Each structure stands twice: as structure tokens, then as C-alpha cells.
Structure 1
Amino acid sequence: MSVIFHIDVNSAYLSWTAAEQLKNGAKRDLRQIPSIIGGDQKSRHGVVLAKSIPAKKYGIRTGEPVVNAFRKCPGLVMEPPDHKLYRQYSDRLMDFLREYTRVGTARGQEEYTASIEQVSVDECYVDVTEFVKRYSSPVDGAMEIKNEVCRRYGYTVNVGISSNKLLAKMASDFEKPNKVHTLFPEEIQVKMWPLPVSELYMAGHSSVEILQKLDIHTIGDLARMDPKLIELHLKSHGRKLWEFANGIGSDVVEAEPAEAKGIGNSTTLSQDAVSEEEAKEVLRVLAASVGRRLRRAGQKAKMLSVEIKYHTFESVSHQRQLGRATNQDQDIYEEAKVLFRELWDGTPVRLLGIRSSKLVQEDEPEQLSLFDPQFQPDPKREKLNQALAKVREKYGDRIVRKGMS
């Protein structure tokens, strides 16, 4: 059985800002006072990005306008976001985890390094199946990692433990901060099923409203329902939620080599996208950008993923292995649309992103199916794609659009 940790930094932006300030001689710890990470109220970043536990006691919520937070707590301390700093702290954490989970054989001739799948700047999955064999239990290994992060870097993390990624993620979201929790399949009915269905991974506001109309209020209610009924109301996303409610998830931690992490692009929207048509226009532009960057690098992608950040600041992503490697804008766009439809729950979208991975050299030979027309060379299509790419390169991604999509 696999053992997987989901490691999540507690209030990352605020914690990392506080840790850096203390390292530079600050007398106060932002985490101990009512404080937030926010931005210019005139921009899209004029919202609360992270909050301290004392700020939470005033009813301050992540994602609400900064001006509202100050009404609730006039003495609130606000610091601006520093994404360069956050990336540095994130990289240090990933490097630490790779080194700390390294396992040698008895003779020291071979080495095992845990697979790490980073899913955002402040969270990752780690396959620790081999690593935890040196401990009496996985909890002991998780506690050691959690405590060592705090000792070395001055901030805390939560660690969720299970045999698949979904349950490890759910476990890490239990009581915070600075905690270790397990959620193995045999613990689902006791630990997960009594929770409100809104706490299920990927259950957004719109989905929860529909489920509640079906008299589904807890995760257990959903798990015991006929999945066909859920699909009738929420389509493929409903089936996915039903699977999650029953603890069904992947146990494969998909680590990427450092030299092939992929090429991607994302954008924060000036106004939340509330329809598929609005989202598709953004995806088209992003696909053109990713395609152009792949071609410039002389590479093609074998995998694509789409990221959605909702207006609530909840982030979700979905990826797909491609039938053939590509760096063509239209191919990327078509795949991105499918991924978006499978992922989106109808909630207003604040950010969209497309990322390519499993990159190969553009001139690498590929095996095409003799029977699948999708994979047959099409000289006319290739010439059209090349012409469109040149036009977009010169005049911008938005200059050419298809009439139908």
C-alpha cells in the first residue's frame, strides 16, 4: 500500500512574510496579531489574500475586500504580497523535502528519493512509502518533517496522511495549524462522512447548492447516493464528487524532473468569468501563448493541465495525457476546453491557467496510429497553424479568432 503525505503551509503568504520579517529583526510577529496580506484597493488585488488567526476572530475572510476587513478591525495590520519571496520560500521547502526523504540502502550503494508533486506554491504531495519504513508509523515520520520545517524555517505546516492523494488532501484540511492527521480508507466513515458536503474537495458553492436541494448535506449523504442521480444534476463533475465522497482517488504522485517542469501561462481576470463562453475566450488566448512558447523552445507537450481559481480563492486543477505530443495552439485550446468542462463547477472564475508538461523535443520521432484520423498528418492544417502562429507572433494572441468553437 502506498503512503502519501499532503503537506500544506499554514496561511502561507502571512507565515512566510512573518518569518522573513522576524529573520530581519522585526519585534512583532504578524501571526500573533490581527493582520492580513492584501494589496492596493484600486486593483484586483485589493482583497484579503491571507489572514492571521487573531484576524479570523474578527470575522475577516480570505477573498473579501480589504476595505471590509478594516471596517471589522480598524487596528488591522496589512502587509503587501511579495510573490518573489513566496517563490523562494516554496523552492526551499521543496528542496528540503527532497533531501529529507532521501533513503539509502543498507550498503549505501543505492538511493531512493521520494516523489514530490507540487500542486501550488504552498502545497505538495509526497510519496513516502519507502521513507516511512524507518519509523514505527507514518505519523512519526510526518511529525518529524513538520517539526523540522518549523525549526529550520520558522513557519508551520499541516500534514495529511493516507494511501491516496484525495484522502491525504482532505486530512491536511482537518484542524489547523501545525497538525498531523490521518485519513485512511477505513477511517472515512468516522472522520469524513459526518463533515458538511461543502468541505469535500472540489465541491464549490454552486455544486453544494444543487446537492442541498437534493437533501444532501453531509459527505456521507453524497457517498450513499446513487451516482447516476448525481450525474443527472451535475454531469461528470457530479460523478467525480461522488467518487471523492467515497474516498476514491489516485495514489500516483506525479513528480516532474527538474529539467522538464513544463511551460504554462495563467491570468487573473479583470472581471470574474461566469459563463463557459467567457472562459473559452481566455483559454484561447492562453493556448496561443503556451503554444508560442513551446515552439520557441523547440518542444512539444505530452500532457496538459488547466487551473481554475474561483472568486473564493479556492484553486483546482485537472490534467490529461495527450494522444500525441503537440505545440499547436488549436490542439492546446481544444484539450483545454475539455479539461475546463470536466473541472468547472459553475462558480465565478477569477483566474485561469494552462500548463504543459512531459515535454519532448519538437523533432523527436512519434508513433502515429494507422487507424485514428485524429493523429494523421494534415499538411493543410499544419500550414494554417503555422500561418496563424506567425500572425499572432507579430500582432498579438487576440488578433485572430475562429468564428465557431
Structure 2
Amino acid sequence: MAASERKIVHVDMDAFYASVEQRDRPELRGQPVVVAWTGPRSVVCAASYEARRFGVHSAMSAARARRLCPQAVYVPPDFERYRAVSRQVRGIFAHYTDLIEPLSLDEAYLDVTFNKPGLASATEVAQAIRAQIRAETGLTASAGVAPNKFLSKIASDWNKPDGLFVVKPSHVQAFLQALPVRKVPGVGKVMQARLQELGIHTVGELGQHTAAELELHFGRYGYRLYELARGIDRRPVEPDQAVQQVSAETTFEIDLRLDQLEQVLERLATKAWEQTHRKGLAGRTVVLKLKTDRFRILTRSHTQPQPVASAQELVELALDMRERVTLPPYTLYRLAGIGLSNFADEDEAGRQRDMFA
């Protein structure tokens, strides 16, 4: 089947962890709720929509969240409960298709080109899934329907919370014209700034450039940008993918020395930790990645007998690995990253979370 003929639904649970807490604790309903551990290096796992109005969002430091919204109710995460609800939601997905690609505990791609109940359209499938999730879990989900994964993920965020947005094949180009380039996967703050230097602020403007022009500026990723600007994404929905590594990395606006990277590594480590917990994982191996200003890539790794137990432990391991870099102290670096891999099996990961939640 041609990729253009696919019908893809991206389902994203609304403020998942916080919504589960509000569902199970009626006194929290309507309150700004922040799901986070205690401690100076804790990060926000989720924030209710009431808390988001104050600027609180996931992956933010808990300390900053408290400054923005001191009146919020802060609750520690309960990943076993979230995993149980996630399994319930995935069971609902399975009523409609076997082609399910989970991205985390709270979101997944579904290929509903052929759906089990024989519903007439992907839009009907998305509507039925959302209704069943509400009826069986008491939670809301938003969904995006489109011809591919790239567009469906963007669409699911369009009418949040509790929304549905459809990008029909005939409307793809119109939909992309005014879309900010920051919505394109892989376009972070640094890439967005580079695109803006070229006068590119929207996907429509990105589409005015040839593949050769974009490859000249961005290498192989330039061709990916060329395709996405035209709504092309050939990736199939791939069920039951085992996650090999979760990582966070950043390219600096100005090159930095190794001794200037402490806050950067703390931020990346906490972000990588938060991502692993969103996916319900616990990793034993920590990887530090650095790229010098001459584009030399260095990696250092450390493997433990037990999974990393906290964000603070991951930060400390990252800083320890920094001490193992032996290049001259005046060496400048343009990129840093922290990764977790060698994941524990599900039972061990669950025990680990119980110990440190």
C-alpha cells in the first residue's frame, strides 16, 4: 500500500498523570495539580490544565513550577497506577486495530486504514476510541487523523484538551502553509533560529526551498525538512517496538568549555529521566555524548547492576562521566547529550519505581 493511502490516528491522553490523580481524588478536580517528586532537582512529570495556565509544563524544574504556581497541589507520581490505566487504554485501541505503536504511556499511533469494526472512516474510528476511553476510564483523550504520522501527531495537539482534528489528504498543503516551523519534528530552538536566519518562519516558507538548498544548510536532515514541508512521511506504524535508548541532547548557541557544562548536563539528565518515566522504563546504562567545535564526537558510558534510581543519581553519574573526558581543558564543545539504555524488564522497572516514587 502506498504511504499516501494510509489512515493514521494519533491518540494523546490529556494531561495524563495529572488527570488520573484528579479522577481518583475528587478533591483535586478543578485545582492546579502538578505531578512531581520532592527535592531540589525534581522535574515536573505532568501538570493539569489549571496549572498550565500559570506556565507550568512537563520537564520544567519543580522549583520553577513552585515559583510560577505556589498554590498548586503537588503530588508524587504513581507510575504503577498510570501503567495500569495505559494498559486499559491500549486494550481499547486493540478493539480497532492491531497496528499500534506506543510512544509513551499516554500516546500512540494507530494505523486504521483497515479497522476491525468496519467503520466507514478514520474520523469515525477516532471518535469511537475517544468515546470508549471516556466511558471506560473516566479520562479524556485528544486525537489527530491524517494520512501519515507526522501530520497526525501535529493534529492531535490542535484542539486539546478533549479534541479531534482531521487533516484530509486534499487539505495537507493548506494546513501546512501557516504552520510554524517549530512544530516540525527535530526543529528545536537552535534549528528554529537557523531557519529564521534564512527567512523561514512557517512550513509554507520552508516549502519554497529546494532539497539541494536545504541539504546545503542542514545536511541529510535538510532532505527530511524538504519532505515534511510537503507533508511527506513514509514511516509506517510499527507495533511492539522495543525502546533501545532514551536521550536528551542540545546544541549550544555558543561553544562551551567542559567546566561550563554542569548546568547543561543537569538539565539534560533530568529531561532524560523524565522521558524514561513517561515511557515506563528504568535504565542501567548511562551515556554521555559530547561533540567538539571541530565536530569530533566523544562518548562515555557507565553501567550499573541496578537501574538508575532517581533524577539526582542520573545527574551525578553524568557529572562523574564528564571527569573522564581527557581532552585539553580549553577544548570547546558545541553539543552535549545524556542517554539511558539497557532497560530493566517490566517487573524490575515496576519494583524500582515503587522504591523511589
Query: What range describes the TM-score normalised by the shorter chain of this pair?
Result: 0.5 to 0.7
When normalised by structure 1's length, the TM-score is 0.60
Aligned: 1:276 with 2:272:
no
When normalised by structure 2's length, the TM-score is 0.68
What secondary structure sits across from 2:201 in the alignment? coil
| 1:116, distance to aligned residue in structure 2 (A) | 0.9
| 1:161, distance to aligned residue in structure 2 (A) | 0.9
Distance 1:89 1:168, change over 3 A: same
Partner of 1:67: 63
Aligned residues: 273
- For residues 335 and 212 of structure 2, the distance between their equivalents in structure 1, rounded to whole angstroms, comes to 22
Residues 123-134 of structure 1: matches in 2 within 5 Å? 123-131=107-115, 134=118
- For residues 51 and 87 of structure 2, the distance between their equivalents in structure 1, rounded to whole angstroms, comes to 28
Distance 1:157 1:351, change over 3 A: farther
- For residues 183 and 36 of structure 2, the distance between their equivalents in structure 1, rounded to whole angstroms, comes to 25
Partner of 1:327: none
Q: Contact between 1:271 and 1:350, CA under 8 Å: does it hold in 2?
A: no
| 1:37, distance to aligned residue in structure 2 (A) | 1.2
Q: Contact between 1:266 and 1:354, CA under 8 Å: does it hold in 2?
A: no
| 1:348, distance to aligned residue in structure 2 (A) | 5.6
- For residues 274 and 265 of structure 1, the distance between their equivalents in structure 2, rounded to whole angstroms, comes to 13
| 1:70, distance to aligned residue in structure 2 (A) | 1.9
Distance 1:265 1:163, change over 3 A: closer
Aligned: 1:5 with 2:2:
no
Residues 37-186 of structure 1: matches in 2 within 5 Å? 37-43=35-41, 46-98=42-94, 100-101=95-96, 113-131=97-115, 134-186=118-170
What secondary structure sits across from 1:210 in the alignment? helix
| 1:115, distance to aligned residue in structure 2 (A) | 1.1
1:76-131 deviation line (CA, Å, top 9, x unaligned): 11111222222222222112211x21xxxxxxxxxxx4311112222111111121
1:183-208 deviation line (CA, Å, top 9, x unaligned): 23321222222021111222111111
Task: Name the Cα RMSD after superposition.
Answer: 2.9
Kindly provide the amino acid, as one letter, of the partner of residue 40 in structure 1. T
| 1:167, distance to aligned residue in structure 2 (A) | 1.5
Kindly provide the amino acid, as one letter, of the partner of residue 191 in structure 2. S
Aligned: 1:17 with 2:21:
yes
| 1:10, distance to aligned residue in structure 2 (A) | 1.4
Q: Contact between 1:2 and 1:127, CA under 8 Å: does it hold in 2?
A: yes
Partner of 1:255: 239
Identity %: 27
Distance 1:233 1:285, change over 3 A: farther
Distance 1:149 1:203, change over 3 A: same
Residues 204-215 of structure 1: matches in 2 within 5 Å? 204-215=188-199
Higher relative contact order (CA 8 A, sep 6+): 2
Q: Contact between 1:164 and 1:250, CA under 8 Å: does it hold in 2?
A: yes
Kindly provide the amino acid, as one letter, of the partner of residue 34 in structure 2. I
Q: Contact between 2:18 and 2:46, CA under 8 Å: does it hold in 1?
A: yes
1:127-152 deviation line (CA, Å, top 9, x unaligned): 11121873343212211110110111
Structure whose alpha-carbon radius of gyration is higher: 1
Specify which of 31, 34, 48 is matched with residue 33 of structure 1.
Answer: 31
Kindly provide the amino acid, as one letter, of the partner of residue 102 in structure 2. Q
